[in-house]
């Protein structure tokens, strides 16, 4: 079977490249491509611009939206009692502090980077890595609404209405990022405000992205040569791409179909999910899909690497969230979620060895080859979303085991924040897994052995030197990527678990996180990613001059919401996309 072997070798090479790319991307300081704000004309054709491009492969038929009545799920949120006056005062003080930080960043974005994708928070410049379509502005629309900043919201909507999506200086558009940030941002701001201008922009982005599905098998192109498509060239779906990028279009497309009553977007993504469902049981780790899949051949079950972290994450996230979004109209999502959650809990979660033997869990990566399943005991800031996700799934579908795992995952993220000198978790790290979920005695020798195993220069230095040089807190076997890039996932899960359980200590953990993050990342203008959260406590980590749109779109929104009254964006009325944009749920 040389063809298969060659293909799998190609895949292994691709995964290696992708992993390299991930870490390379994570550690180089090269600036993103620049974009000259070429007097971008007001959107002339809007959605029509995209509809007028000839279609080469029209769908044979369009699957209609389900018409079944939505079901009543159990509540995601717990019922909160009356709030004591003292607790309320503390909460409102914290809420104001979050809003102050947001306002400072928004003001600087408005002054120095208005309508570009990002503010450069140290130098005061601007960056355009996401098409030059004002990513920060669109990502922050719903946050402005939620924070009750109506004048700023109105100004931003007016500006958003003039974004011209038919033009970009990028050669290649990332369909996934465009979907979660722009389409998700417009849909949610429309769901909250009802402003029709936002719906028009959502439809415009929806028409643009729909063009990426114009391939022989109607599978999408995820890294998309947009100019070729505009000029009417034929296109084919790629033979290898990331499961997260093809598996995370579902919520935005479906919500757009529900709002517009035009089923074509739902139809487009449901084809992907049907193929994923068909092949979920036949992968090397049944229940989970490999990191890299083929859209061209619709192969979702060949490959050995599995993770719920980077490059896969939101494909899993959207399963129970689709049930919430559609009020359970398609039972397949619950089935897919339950299989995935069961496999993830069994294979990917591990209890790390810590000095105090804390009862926590971390989600690692798994290789499954020839029936042998091996765990890579890594951790990522990004995978902290999983605690929130298992909370949502556990509550919707009455799965106590998911809530129990979620609690330990969230506690694991909180623990990891506390274990680092500035109170912030790094992008990636490795730990030492206990053999049993019941825990293990702290074993300094075992820890050092693992440090040495992972060190690249084991001959050159002693293990104690490595620990000192790499500033490894006890329990951490290596820290490959030391940055903190203003990510939301830890506070996201703390927020969701708080709304589901009412655990008061989570409010204090959130506040500690917020203070640590603000202290460590603030600049004169705004907040910035930092290069090294392992820097000694008495040294400020160097600022990286980067503020991705998710800082205003996600991180500060979740911080604000956890300190808001618990019926503000109730999880029983809304479900968040992977960019923290709340969409209205269908409820009976
Ligand atoms: C955020 O950090 C900056 C810099 O340390 C500080 O001036 C500001 O007061 C902090 N904001 C809040 C709300 O804590």
Report, as an integer, the average pLDDT of 354-382. 97
172, pLDDT greater than 90: yes
pLDDT bin (cut points 50, 70, 90) of residue 28 is very low
Contact 35, 169 (CB under 8 A): yes
CA distance 349 to 87: 35
Residue ranges lining ligand 1, Cβ < 6 Å = 97, 100-101, 518-519, 522
- Map residue 117 onto helix, strand or coil: coil
Question: Ligand 1 centre and the CA of 586: distance in Å?
Answer: 40
> Which residue is it, tokens 């006056």?
85
**Separation of CA 518 and ligand 1 centre (Å):** 6
Alpha carbon distance, N-terminus to C-terminus of the chain: 53
**Fold (CATH) for 9-584:** Glycosyltransferase (1.50.10)
Grade residue 144 by pLDDT with cuts at 50, 70 and 90.
very high
Does residue 43 carry a pLDDT above 50? Answer: no
Ligand 1 mean position, distance from CA 153 (Å): 24
Report the nearest atom of ligand 1 relative to the CA of 100.
Answer: 13
Which ligand 1 atom sits nearest the alpha carbon of residue 97?
13
Q: What is the pLDDT of residue 40?
A: 35
At 12 the pLDDT is 41
Domain positions in the chain: 9-584
Q: E strands within 159-214?
A: 172-174
> 75 and 502 in contact (C-beta within 8 Å)?
no
What pLDDT, in 10s, does the model give residues 112-121?
Answer: 999 999 999 9
Residue 161: DSSP 8-state: T
Q: Which of 519, 527, 528 to mutate to test the pocket of ligand 1 (most atoms within 8 A of CB)?
A: 519
Question: Given pLDDT bands bounded at 50, 70 and 90, which one contains residue 3?
Answer: very low
Catalytic residues: 177, 313, 427, 489
| pLDDT score recorded for residue 459 | 74
∠ CA 55-59-61 to the nearest 5 degrees?
Answer: 140
CB of 222 closer than 8 Å to CB of 295: yes
Q: Given the CA of residue 98, which atom of ligand 1 is nearest to it?
A: 13
Specify the range with the lowest mean pLDDT, choosing from 8-12, 130-134, 558-562, 573-577. Answer: 8-12
- Between the alpha carbon of residue 547 and those of residues 180, 202, 316, 330, 517, the distances in Å are 17, 24, 26, 38, 13
Supply the pLDDT for residue 27. 35
Ligand 1 center from residue 118 Cα (angstroms): 21
- List Cβ neighbours of 154 (8 Å cut-off, separation of 6 or more): none
What digits encode the pLDDT tens for the residues 374-424?
999 999 999 999 999 999 999 999 999 999 999 999 999 999 999 999 999
Mean pLDDT, range 521-526, rounded to an integer: 98
Mean pLDDT of 301-316: 96
- Going by pLDDT thresholds of 50, 70 and 90, the confidence category of residue 461 is confident
- State which ligand 1 atom lies nearest to the alpha carbon of 96: 13
Nearest atom of ligand 1 to the alpha carbon of 515: 14
Whether residue 179 is predicted with pLDDT greater than 80 in this model: the reply is yes
Q: DSSP code of 572?
A: T
Distance CA 319, CA 87 (A): 36
For residue 468, the model assigns a pLDDT of 95
Q: How far is 29 from 27, CA to CA, in rounded Å? A: 7
Which pLDDT value is given to residue 148?
98
pLDDT at position 45: 54
Question: Is 36 annotated as ligand-binding?
Answer: no
**β-strand partners of 576:** 582
Residues 6 or more apart whose Cβ sits within 8 Å of residue 350: 361, 362, 364, 375, 377, 433, 434
CA distance 472 to 184: 38
pLDDT of residue 42 exceeding 70, the answer is no
The encoded tokens of residue 4 equal 């298969």
Among protein residues, the one with the nearest Cα to ligand 1's atom 1 is 518
- How far does residue 420's CA lie from ligand 1's centre (Å)? 20
| Of the candidates 572, 557, 576, 551, the residue with the CA atom closest to the CA atom of residue 113 | 551
SS3 content of the chain, % helix, strand, coil (to 5): 50, 10, 40
- Under DSSP, is residue 540 helix (H, G, I), strand (E, B) or coil? coil
β-strand 362-363 against 378-380: which pairing, if any?
Answer: unpaired
- Beta strands 349-350 and 362-363: pairing type? antiparallel
Residue 15 has pLDDT above 80, yes or no: no
pTM value is 0.93
Distance CA 343, CA 347 (A): 6
Of the pLDDT bands very low, low, confident and very high (cuts 50, 70, 90), residue 550 is very high
Nearest CA to ligand 1 atom 10: 518
For a mutational test of ligand 1's pocket, the pick from 98, 101, 515, 527, i.e. the residue with the most ligand atoms closer than 8 A to its C-beta, is 101
Burial of 85 (0-12, 13-18, 19+ CB in 10 A): exposed
Residue in 522, 527, 528, 563 to alter for ligand 1 test, most ligand atoms within 8 A of Cβ: 522
Atom 13, ligand 1: which residue's CA is nearest? 97
Taking residues 268-289, report their average pLDDT: 98
Long-range contacts of 297-305 (CB under 8 A, 24+ apart): 297/239, 298/217, 298/219, 300/243, 300/275, 300/276, 302/7, 302/8, 302/11, 303/8, 303/11, 303/15, 304/12, 304/367, 304/368, 304/369, 305/15, 305/365, 305/366, 305/367
What is the structure's pLDDT at 457? 77
Return all residues near 415 (Cβ < 8 A) that are at least 6 apart: 354, 358, 360
For residue 519, how far is its CA from the centre of ligand 1 (angstroms)? 6
Query: Could you read off the pLDDT of 280-294 as tens digits, one per residue?
Result: 999 999 999 999 999
Predicted confidence band of residue 1 (pLDDT cuts 50, 70, 90): very low
In which band, very low, low, confident or very high, does the pLDDT at 460 lie, cut at 50, 70 and 90?
Answer: confident
Instruction: Please state, as a whole number, how many other Cβ atoms lie within 10 Å of the Cβ of residue 234.
Output: 12
Q: Nearest C-alpha to atom 12 of ligand 1 is from which residue? A: 97
pLDDT at position 391 is: 98
Assess whether pLDDT exceeds 80 at residue 41.
Answer: no
């Amino acid at each position: 079977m040389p063809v298969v072997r060659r293909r799998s070798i190609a895949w292994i090479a691709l995964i290696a490249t992708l992993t390299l790319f991930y870490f390379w991307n994570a550690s180089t300081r090269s600036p993103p491509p620049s974009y000259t704000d070429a007097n971008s004309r007001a959107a002339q054709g809007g959605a029509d611009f995209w509809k007028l491009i000839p279609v080469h492969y029209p769908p044979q038929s369009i699957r209609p939206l389900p018409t079944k009545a939505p079901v009543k799920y159990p509540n995601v949120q717990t019922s909160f009692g009356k709030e004591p006056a003292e607790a309320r005062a503390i909460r409102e003080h914290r809420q104001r502090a979050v809003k102050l930080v947001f306002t400072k960043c928004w003001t600087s974005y408005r002054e120095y980077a208005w309508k570009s994708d990002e503010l450069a928070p140290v130098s005061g410049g601007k960056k355009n890595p996401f098409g030059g379509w004002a990513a920060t502005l669109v990502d922050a629309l719903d946050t402005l609404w939620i924070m009750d900043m109506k004048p700023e919201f109105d100004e931003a909507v007016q500006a958003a209405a003039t974004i011209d999506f038919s033009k970009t200086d990028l050669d290649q558009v990332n369909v996934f990022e465009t979907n979660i940030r722009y389409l998700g941002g417009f849909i949610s701001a429309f769901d909250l405000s009802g402003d029709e201008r936002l719906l028009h922009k959502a439809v415009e982005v929806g028409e643009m992205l729909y063009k990426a599905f114009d391939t022989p098998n109607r599978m999408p192109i995820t890294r998309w040569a947009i100019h070729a498509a505009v000029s009417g060239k034929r296109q084919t779906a790629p033979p290898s791409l990331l499961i997260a990028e093809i598996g995370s279009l579902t919520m935005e497309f479906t919500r757009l179909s529900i709002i517009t009553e035009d089923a074509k977007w739902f139809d487009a993504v449901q084809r992907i999910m049907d193929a994923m469902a068909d092949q979920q049981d036949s992968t090397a780790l049944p229940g989970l899909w490999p990191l890299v899949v083929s859209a061209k051949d619709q192969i979702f079950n060949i490959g050995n690497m599995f993770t719920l972290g980077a490059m896969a994450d939101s494909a899993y996230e959207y399963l129970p969230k689709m049930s919430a979004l559609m009020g359970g109209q398609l039972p397949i999502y619950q089935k897919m979620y339950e299989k995935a959650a069961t496999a993830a809990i069994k294979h990917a979660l591990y209890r790390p060895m810590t000095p105090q033997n804390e009862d926590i869990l971390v989600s690692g990566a798994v290789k499954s080859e020839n029936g042998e399943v091996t765990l890579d005991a890594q951790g990522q800031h990004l995978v902290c979303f999983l605690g929130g996700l298992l909370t949502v799934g556990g509550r919707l579908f009455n799965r106590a085991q998911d809530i129990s795992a979620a609690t330990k995952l969230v506690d694991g993220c909180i623990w990891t924040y506390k274990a680092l000198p500035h109170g912030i978790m790094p992008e990636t790290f490795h730990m030492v897994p206990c053999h049993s979920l019941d825990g293990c005695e702290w074993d300094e020798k075992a820890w050092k052995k693992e440090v040495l195993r992972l060190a690249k220069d084991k001959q050159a230095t002693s293990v104690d030197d490595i620990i000192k040089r790499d500033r490894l807190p006890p329990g951490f076997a290596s820290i490959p990527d030391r940055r903190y890039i203003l990510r939301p996932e830890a506070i996201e899960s703390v927020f969701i678990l708080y709304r589901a359980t009412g655990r008061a200590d989570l409010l204090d953990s959130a506040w500690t996180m917020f203070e640590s993050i603000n202290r460590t990342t603030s600049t004169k203008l705004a907040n910035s990613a930092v290069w090294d959260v392992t820097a000694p406590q008495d040294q400020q980590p160097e600022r990286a001059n980067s503020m991705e749109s998710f800082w205003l779109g996600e991180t500060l929104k979740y911080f604000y919401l956890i300190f808001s009254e618990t019926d503000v964006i109730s999880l029983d009325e809304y479900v968040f996309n992977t960019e923290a944009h709340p969409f209205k749920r269908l409820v009976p």
